[in-house]
Chains A and B, each alone.
Chain A
């Protein structure tokens, strides 16, 4: 799907709907509610709102976004629309209002909202839990009793993310991330892949770590393609912005020394790098195959069998569901996709659940591998080349971390008690002596 074309067509469609509603409103002499977008400045917005009050009833002036809702006559709405779309104003407004009109960027119809009944075979709805077998299989629901990933900062280094998607909007702060394709601060997804990955990692309903904070780092273009250096730039951004975990559902068949250097440096700076093992069935895929610095993720299906596309290679570290994964897609939609791309965010999310509880990256990775479920394989390759340590189990990870922490607390209390007794003994001895 060409998202840019889709958005352009949608804008044209909405303009036509607006103009026809304006005509209808003029004919039937009924007021019309419109939304006006102003320049992104509080003073400008207030100035425009002040002028608009003379035209009609202001329904809302937004505090954080440059929009104003107003109910006005069809004629007034037409004049404003003419200014935006036809650059002319037939009616003579007073001078101060004409000045304010210049600050208006767009005008749109205010829509009525109502509940939408679920349709069969529609992609634009959220499906019940039965479609999220992948979260069940890795023990995510049970893990959520202990942790939902709050406080963990996860970067999705990918095609960008549709951060306006209802599944994901609560995961993003004001700082959305970075776009290294266009070199700006708006990492909007123009492909769909990154949004799907983000949903599995931290989506409200589809995600392993639904309360984690996400950052979108766009390093792949609308065709899902980029270079080792855009990926390295993305990893550097994550490092400079104190990200805990960076998920990379991407790769290439050839190693790059520069990318390896970046992965090593980021790993030394305590970022957990997670990458997809590859979809060619066998062989290295980079950066996953860099070994020590990157956690390589293989894919399994619903029955915990090896997904035949998932690369078998000596550097595989862990496995996660990667066949038939239901998750978010741009435009408020949901899709089912396959790939080691889809397996990777399960690991990013699971690590996020751990990091949320204990900020120790080495401990999180070690615990993940030690608590993984061993899987069966009867083929010619070593089991670890196929599955790594096995299927990630988020519930086991958190349980082990919980007991380790409890034992640590008990030992510390005991040690402190012992130290206190020693001090008391010394004081008594001094007094006696």
Chain B
């Protein structure tokens, strides 16, 4: 049970269906990469050339459990030998507090 809680905690902050893949530098910008990813059902959202990373999106079947999704994606990309690593994409949010405050002084 604690292991499951730890897994759930690790899953917080991730964006559903969005992954970052790092590829070998010589393949960055190659149309072949885009073609092969699309053939496997991925959509390229962003390409960050300077760190050889693509942000890709995929619809994962509902029967795949939360903790198995990353493995599912890795399995789909296994045959592409230029892929160095795969990780889940993290959500970023604006950091203003929900409550807007006034310090009590008359603004005029």
Contact = CB atoms under 8 A, between A and B. Distances in A.
Interface of A: 118, 120-121, 127-128, 130-131, 133, 158-159, 180, 191, 193-194, 196, 219-220, 224-233, 236, 239-240, 249-259, 261-262, 265, 276, 278-279, 285-286, 302, 309, 323-324, 326, 335-342, 344
Interface in B4-20: 10, 12-15, 18, 20
6 contacts: A227-B18, A233-B46, A250-B95, A336-B100, A337-B96, A339-B95
B96 to A, nearest CB: 4
The 5 closest A-B pairs by CB, nearest first: A224-B94, A229-B55, A339-B96, A324-B103, A254-B13
Q: Give the bracket for the number of chain B residues in contact with chain A.
A: 35 or more
Nearest to B91: A252
B90 A256 contact: yes
A236 B95 CA distance: 21
A239 B49 CA distance: 12
Contacts of B50: 236, 239-240, 262, 265
B105 A254 contact: no
Nearest to A130: B105
B101 interface: yes
Contacts of B106: 120
Given A127-B108, A256-B87, A337-B100, 8 more contacts: A230-B46, A233-B48, A250-B94, A261-B53, A262-B51, A338-B96, A339-B95, A341-B94
Given A229-B89, A336-B100, A256 B20 contact: yes
B92 A251 contact: yes
Contacts of A225: 91-94
Contacts, number: 153
A254 B99 CA distance: 24
Interface string B52-65: 01010000000000
Interface string B15-46: 10010101000000000000000000000011
B37 to A, nearest CB: 15
Given A236-B50, A256-B20, A324-B103, A227 B96 contact: no
Contact of A224 (B14, B18, B89, B93): B93
Contacts of B79: none
B11 to A, nearest CB: 9
A340 B95 contact: yes
A116 B68 CA distance: 61
B94 A229 contact: no
A219 B85 contact: no
B108 A286 contact: no
B87 A193 contact: no
